[in-house]
């Protein structure tokens, strides 16, 4: 029984370390989100996008795919936004059962788009306008928008209100306004 107690304490300590690291990574990502994105050029983005978009690599080399996606975000490649939008539901399966799920670590395109920041907002709004609020791609898009506003809830709410005012259809407007109701739910772990 003593060894089991020690093992439990070690697991609990490791879990706390993982959570702290996740918060630190997110904080650094959000701090970079206010900086402007930049075009990276096809010669820089094409090799990374080829890796990220290959379905067989998504299964056989998920770490390589996640790394390619993260690099596009770190480079703030605005010309990769549409491809990252298409990858918004690509799920990186966590290897440690002790690591708590977190949307940005489970779905690397959310973090890449967060880092790119405000240049990604129009594509994210379009996605929210055209998808049912309950679907994963819409939830991940709303999560990403919230994170771009660095958890400044009032600014995020105002952004959704303004986007809803400009929506082309009543259905798109309704979906954007729904984002005001789902803020807390969207920010919870998946």
**pLDDT above 70 coverage of the chain, percent:** 73
Predicted pLDDT of residue 22: 44
- Give the H or E element holding residue 8: helix 2-33
pLDDT of amino acid 23: 42
Report d(CA 9, CA 16) in Å as an integer: 11
Residue 139 has pLDDT above 70, yes or no: yes
State the pLDDT confidence band at 157, using cuts at 50, 70 and 90.
Answer: very high
Whether the CB-CB separation of 177 and 162 falls below 8 Å is answered with no
pLDDT at 12 > cutoff 60? no
> Is the predicted pLDDT of residue 111 greater than 70, yes or no?
yes
pLDDT of 20 higher than 60: no
């Amino acid at each position: 029984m003593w060894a089991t107690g020690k093992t439990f304490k070690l697991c609990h300590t490791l879990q706390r370390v993982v959570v702290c690291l996740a918060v630190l990574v997110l904080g650094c990502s959000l701090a970079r989100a206010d900086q402007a994105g930049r075009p990276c050029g096809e010669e820089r983005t094409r090799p990374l996008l080829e890796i990220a978009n290959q379905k067989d690599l998504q299964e056989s080399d998920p770490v390589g795919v996640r790394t390619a996606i993260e690099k596009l975000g770190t480079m703030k490649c605005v010309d990769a936004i549409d491809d990252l939008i298409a990858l918004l539901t690509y799920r990186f399966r966590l290897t440690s059962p002790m690591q708590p799920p977190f949307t940005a670590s489970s779905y690397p395109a959310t973090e890449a788009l967060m880092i790119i920041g405000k240049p990604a907002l129009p594509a994210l709004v379009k996605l929210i306008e055209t998808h049912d609020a309950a679907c994963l791609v819409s939830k991940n898009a709303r999560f990403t928008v919230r994170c771009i506003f660095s958890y400044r809830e009032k600014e995020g709410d105002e952004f959704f209100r303004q986007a809803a005012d400009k929506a082309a259809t009543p259905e798109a407007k309704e979906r954007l306004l729904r984002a005001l109701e789902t803020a807390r739910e969207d920010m919870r772990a998946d």
